[in-house]
Chains A and B, each alone.
Chain A
Amino acid sequence: MDVQTLTFIFVGTTFALYIGIAIWARAGNTDDFYVAGGGVPPLANGMATAADWMSAASFISMAGIISFVGRDGAVYLMGWTGGYVLLALLLAPYLRKFGKYTVPDFIGDRYYSDIARLVAVVCVLFVSFTYVAGQMRGVGIVFSRFLEVEITTGVLIGMTIVFFYAVLGGMKGITYTQVAQYCVLIFAFLVPAIFISILMTGNPVPQLGFGSTLADGSNIYLLDKLDQLSTELGFAAYTAGNKSTIDVFFITAALMVGTAGLPHVIVRFFTVPKVRDARISAGYALVFIAILYTTAPALASFARVNLINTVSNTEYKLTPSWFKNWENTNLIAWVDKNQDGKIQYFSGKAFSGKPQFLKTRGPEGERQISNTSTANNNELYIDRDIMVLANPEIANLPNWVIALVAAGGLAAALSTAAGLLLVISTSISHDLLKKMFLKNITDRQELFFARVSAAFAIIIAGYFGIHPPGFVAQVVAFAFGLAASSFFPVILMGIFSKRMNREGAISGMITGLAFTAGYIIYFKFIDPSANSAENWWFGISPEGIGTMGMVFNFIVAILVSRVTAPPPDEIKDMVDDIRIPQGAGASYHHLES
């Protein structure tokens, strides 16, 4: 069967599965809708957290980025896993004991202030919308490439599916679809990785193949070969980095702390029955995440070797069909600078900016572009996002593997999108309406508002998916920077310091937020031309500045809290109470009544 038919079958089957689960797990009240009634078993929660966390960026983009940046890719690998240690040790058990629905709930209650709650809601909405736009774009890419439908149609289909299980099932529906989506995405990620690892190194475990010798009889270690190929073509050695140590340090820290502060991840730990379950499910979650995260760098190196071997100095006419397919989706472009009909692939940009395709074809049959060529000898543009999706084709794997990867990419994008949409709808119906503006609504009305806001959020997310704002890539740094510089310090101090008060928390959050946002906006939007190491403070890039924002948040919060009144006694009692696990079940006693 051809790839397209198989893709339809795989994607159709998985979608039917998700809808089936959604109907089975309908939400009956706000407890179900917000936190799945607090009854999710820890192993299931671990899987759901992993799917929730691993987005289109992890599944589709990350291995591709690592493939092109080599060693520096470690910032994502460590940053997006190390945060779970912080989450498990410092936040999850205590937030579970606190036992409400959202991050703004905790901040609002702990700091006895609706202003703190409002600042938190604004951050939650900003972080979540930023993130969800990227997921919808991922859905669009997969649909347009593999099912050859318009991106708009693809996004609409994705929206309908998410609408179904997020609006109907709430957290309960989302949790169990995420469990299914985890299984789909991890299977889809591992199968091609194992295949390719066997092909290239003879070792079926990608993590081991990564450090093995090549299977071509040359007896050279894969990574040594890769270093050699990279330097020959003028790139930095794969195992050496380009970024400065201080920048790597700060970016890794910002991603770790940001991960621990992301509301859609934190909220998952409200769904388990006990404090003990919150701890262990963080462990399970990281195991499930680590399976993909340790495979990704191996896959990245395989893909890099394969890519260089396949395209470098190959005649355009003789390139495999995947090359032309991706060229037709605008993600590969080639300009024959020396007019020899062969692809020259070297370091540097082949032309300025993203390719602007013309309607015409060149002498070799390539799609022509209107961009101005650069003076270097590189002729090839490859979008990093295609590496994972194109990998099975590059390695000549069977069609069903290619179809599987498409279904996996969709599972990754949809599971994360659903988790984010839930956080958005909860923030609106619970934090804004129930807690601040319409305090007298009943549970049924609140559930209704939650569904309406979920539906609303899906429409907005879909709009961003169809009309991706050019700034999506730039604002990803925001999501982590803001989570790191606003939420993490105030949640942490809310648990570990009884002296931290309302004034300290609010001024800390605002300082962290303003500093981080200001720095990012300056370098990304106001003066993008200045965005280079010599202009950065201490050589810290906008991606890593959240770490500095976090430090400022801590300093300001501590200073301000020392000169203002300590928190009231009932807040100190509350902190004492969340520090011991006993009695966590009581948070949900209203369910039984």
Chain B
Amino acid sequence: MSDSHGPQAKAYWKENIRLVLSLLTIWFVASFGMGILFADILDEFRFFGFKFGFWMAQQGSIFCFVILIFIYVYKMNKLDHKYGVDEDRDHFTPDDTYYENKEPEE
């Protein structure tokens, strides 16, 4: 795709926004929700030696953040590929064999 203003680019951007918003929702729930706002309620539940709200605030949310970024990277790379905006369109590098086994989403 050479035109960064065309309808393809708009569709790509829209999907991107939807992905980012859904991941940020999880991000918010895991940290501000479970670690802060509802932590007192979650503290009623035990998780090994932890109160669950305490664990979310000091450990769990951080694990969630890491996982979220990797999901984002995976999904975005697929999205780039779907719309043909990824950076290896013209020359296949070893990295691209990664995509060959994947079914395109459409």
Interface residues of A (CB under 8 A from B): 66, 71, 73-74, 77-78, 81-82, 84-85, 88-90, 93, 207-208, 210-213, 221-224, 239, 245, 248-249, 252-253, 256, 274-276, 279-280, 282-283, 286-287, 290, 293-294, 297, 496, 573, 576-577, 579-585
Chain B residue nearest to A79 (CB atoms) is B31
Known: A85-B68, A245-B36. A576 touches B4 (CB 8 A): yes
Check if B37 sits within 8 Å of A245, measured CB to CB: yes
Contact in complex: A283, B69 (CB < 8 Å): yes
* Chain A residues closer than 8 Å to B70, beta-carbon distance: 283
* Known contacts A88-B69, A90-B20, A222-B49: A582-B86 contact under CB 8 Å: yes
Contact yes or no, B36 A252, CB < 8 A: yes
Contact with A along B34-68 (1 / 0, CB 8 A): 01110000010001111100110111011101101
Instruction: Give the complex CA separation of A14 and B72 in angstroms.
Output: 36
Cβ-neighbour of B62 out of A208, A212, A221, A294 (below 8 A):
A294
Report the nearest A residue to B71, measured CB to CB: A283
Closest Cβ of chain A: how far from B6's Cβ, in Å? 10
SS class of chain A's interface: helix, strand, loop or mixed? helix
A82 to B58, Cβ gap below 8 A? no
- Residues on A with C-beta less than 8 A from B77 are 276, 279
Interface residues on B, range: 35 or more
| Contacts A274-B87, A584-B87 given; does A78 touch B35 at CB 8 Å | yes
Closest B residue by C-beta to A248: B36
- Name 7 extra pairs, CB < 8 A, besides A252-B32, A577-B4: A74-B54, A81-B61, A82-B65, A85-B68, A89-B69, A239-B50, A573-B4
**Whole-angstrom CA separation of A326 from B47 in the bound complex:** 37
A224 CA to B57 CA, complexed, in Å: 17
Q: Is the CB of B61 within 8 A of A582?
A: no
Q: In the complex, what distance in Å separates the CA atom of A274 from the CA atom of B5?
A: 21
Q: How far is the CA of A423 from the CA of B10 in the complex (A)?
A: 35
Given A71-B54, A582-B86, A290 and B49 contact (CB-CB distance below 8 Å): no
Chain A residues positioned under 8 Å from B27 (CB to CB): 82, 85
Show the binding face of B for A, using Cβ within 8 Å. Answer: 1, 4-5, 9, 12-13, 16-17, 20, 23-24, 27, 31-32, 35-37, 43, 47-51, 54-55, 57-59, 61-63, 65-66, 68-70, 72-73, 76-77, 80, 85-87, 89
Nearest CB in chain A to that of B38: its residue: A245
For the complex, what is the distance from the CA of A528 to the CA of B22, rounded to whole Å? 42
Identify 14 residue pairs between A and B in the complex whose beta-carbon atoms are under 8 Å apart, listed by A's number.
A71-B54, A73-B58, A74-B54, A74-B58, A88-B69, A89-B72, A276-B73, A282-B69, A290-B63, A576-B4, A579-B12, A580-B12, A581-B85, A582-B89
Report yes or no: B49 in contact with A211, Cβ–Cβ below 8 A: yes
Verify A81–B62 contact, CB threshold 8 A.
Answer: yes
Q: Which of A77, A224, A496, A584 has the most CB of B within 10 A?
A: A77
**Given contact pairs A223-B50, A249-B32, A579 touches B68 in the complex (Cβ within 8 A):** no
